[in-house]
Amino acid sequence: MPRGESNSFSRWYNRVMKIKNWQFWLGVLISVLFIWLALRGLHLNDFWGTVQKANYWWLLPGIGVYFVGVWVRAWRWHYLLVPIKKIPTRTIFPITTIGYMGNNIYPARAGEVLRAVILKRKEGVPVSASLATIIVERIFDGVVMLAFVFVNLPELAKLTGASGFVGNIQQVAIIGTGVFLGALAVFLLAAMFPQVTFKIGAWSIEHFVPQRLQEKITDIMRKFLDGLAALRSPFNVLMVFFTSIIIWLLETGKYWFVMHAFNFQVSFFALMLMNGIVNLATTIPSAPGYVGTFDAPGIAVLTAYGVNQATAAGYTLTLHVALWLPITLLGMYYMAREGLKWSDDLRTEMEK
């Protein structure tokens, strides 16, 4: 990768990794607000009683199902990378886990850039192209999450009316659908008409970017468009969409297994709705690990289905830990195996 793009990343990296960064503290404030929304009115004695009585053996099959989903995530990334380079899923899986570990413990979803850097290091794939495929992943994830919500549209009245959660979820879902489908349409058009897209981008760069940066940004744009090449194949688009559905059904399966550790029952469709809403909520800036933005809407969904607050809180917080801890530990293991540390000068990893 050109030194200019490397320097740009280094400046970005240094900015987001400073703990006093205003975005970090904004995320912390938002997390505090969501935690307050989640736990207001909660009786701690009832909460601790629920947590103590839970049968945590049910977490084991849930974690197993979740890691199958992570493998499918790596398989999906394989399809997006095929036009750039054919890389086996077994090679991509460790890099995927490192990325999700990075998202869990560092601000600004730094794990997404981290896995692009490691893929460059191991397989020589340009970081700009990798980031394009990762953005496509996120768009497809958003579309599937919104589909989970819309499958349960009749239940949304219960959520907004009975849970006390702030906001009209149905309106948010409609707006979100427009955003994600619009983004998907833009990326599909850019992939299908790369030359036209490049000309438009080059014109914009020529007229709005300082001349000293034009060549560097143009090169980044060219590699980014290369990363969208998978979207030119209808088969690859269908495979990415299909695997995205499988991924989120498997993750909902984890919700279902963890539910059996607690004394309540809701339908699998209710858990699909919960999964869709909490994961859409985690797109809101928050403290690392999606603290609060995952928990408040999760508890809200369950209370809307008649689950008492103590049980809903115990389940949601346990689920959050079960989603966060295993993938973080495995990602740390793979990162240590790669010999890569966040204190390293990653600039060298970005250069050709």
What is the full per-residue pLDDT of the chain (352 aa) written as tens digits?
455 544 544 554 555 455 446 667 777 788 888 888 778 877 788 889 999 999 999 999 999 999 999 999 999 999 899 999 999 999 999 999 999 999 998 877 788 988 999 999 889 999 999 999 999 999 999 989 888 887 776 666 655 554 445 345 666 667 777 788 888 889 889 888 999 999 999 899 888 888 888 888 898 888 888 888 988 988 888 999 999 999 999 999 999 999 999 999 999 999 998 998 888 888 877 878 888 889 988 998 898 888 999 999 999 999 999 999 999 999 999 988 877 766 554 444 534 4
Query: What CA–CA distance (Å, rounded) separates 352 from 346?
Result: 13
Cβ count within 10 A of residue 242: 13
* pLDDT of 280: 84
Exposed / middle / buried, residue 181 (Cβ in 10 Å: 0-12, 13-18, 19+): middle
Instruction: Give the distance, in angstroms, between the CA of residue 137 and the centroid of all CA atoms in the same chain.
Output: 9
Residue type, 3: R
Query: What CA–CA distance (Å, rounded) separates 311 from 318?
Result: 11
* pLDDT of 69: 97
* pLDDT of 347: 44
* pLDDT of 27: 74
- Rounded to 5 degrees, what angle do the CA atoms 33, 275, 101 make? 75
